[in-house]
Structure 1
């Protein structure tokens, strides 16, 4: 029994420290999943717009610089980032961007959903783990 309890305590502390970097990983993926040169070409962006996008993508060089800004609200990066992208592109091109790269969905919501997917996966894993433990005791 004690062993299971320790596993749960560890899982608890792990998921808490994991959350912040989950958000950061989503943030990084929002940059690396998309070829921004293609975006600039597809949407026929001006040099100024392209430079602003590149500057936005380079804003936080590492986890620490990102974390300083988002330490207390790690989910806020989505609103900040996509509000900025919309401002740079203008509403019309932002709509084209969403259609082409996010199947028309709001990217903020796309990354919000990812966060919930992580939770579901984690819950299932612990259930499976508990079942195996229970079954292990019967033999």
Structure 2
């Protein structure tokens, strides 16, 4: 279960079912929340890298194609996706990417932690999540 429980508490309305579609929405948001043209410009990506990133972002055109890949392990999309991004960008640019777009945190952990943290006040978030991390839940 790991951090799913926390996400549930924050989503609240879902009771105890963290639906497959919630994972898919997280996946979509990991694409739509970032301006990839800006990323390419900021990190001086090559045309090849930019094309690979775009291809990665386009990999699953809809819920069904995504679901076929992740039906049994819906939370695996994060590791798959960010591993691919790291592979495309290379370690150095990936580190910059994380710094610029995820405040230096591992994006996998960001999506693991909870989807609504940007709505909460920063102070609260930091308190909650620093203790989280110390308890060794932070993986990858």
Asked if TM exceeds 0.5, the reply is: yes
CA shift at 1:114, angstroms?
1.3
Asked if 2 retains the 8 angstrom alpha-carbon contact of 1:22 and 1:115, the reply is: no
Where structure 2 has 5 or more consecutive residues not aligned to the other structure, the ranges are 1-11, 118-140
Equivalent position of 2:102 in the other structure: 102
| RMSD of aligned Cα (Å) | 2.1
Q: How many equivalent pairs are there?
A: 106
Asked if 1:41 is matched to 2:46, the reply is no
Listed one character per residue, the Cα deviations across residues 17-44 of structure 1 (whole Å, up to 9, x for unaligned) are: x521110000000000000000000000
Question: Which stretches of structure 1, 4 residues or more, deviate above 2 A after TM superposition?
Answer: 11-16
Equivalent position of 1:59 in the other structure: 59
Where structure 1 has 5 or more consecutive residues not aligned to the other structure, the ranges are 1-10, 118-139
Greater C-alpha Rg: 1
Listed one character per residue, the Cα deviations across residues 74-106 of structure 1 (whole Å, up to 9, x for unaligned) are: 000000000000000000000000000000000
Higher relative contact order (CA 8 A, sep 6+): 2
Q: TM-score, normalised on structure 2? A: 0.71
Distance 2:75 2:116 in 1: 12
CA shift at 1:116, angstroms?
9.3
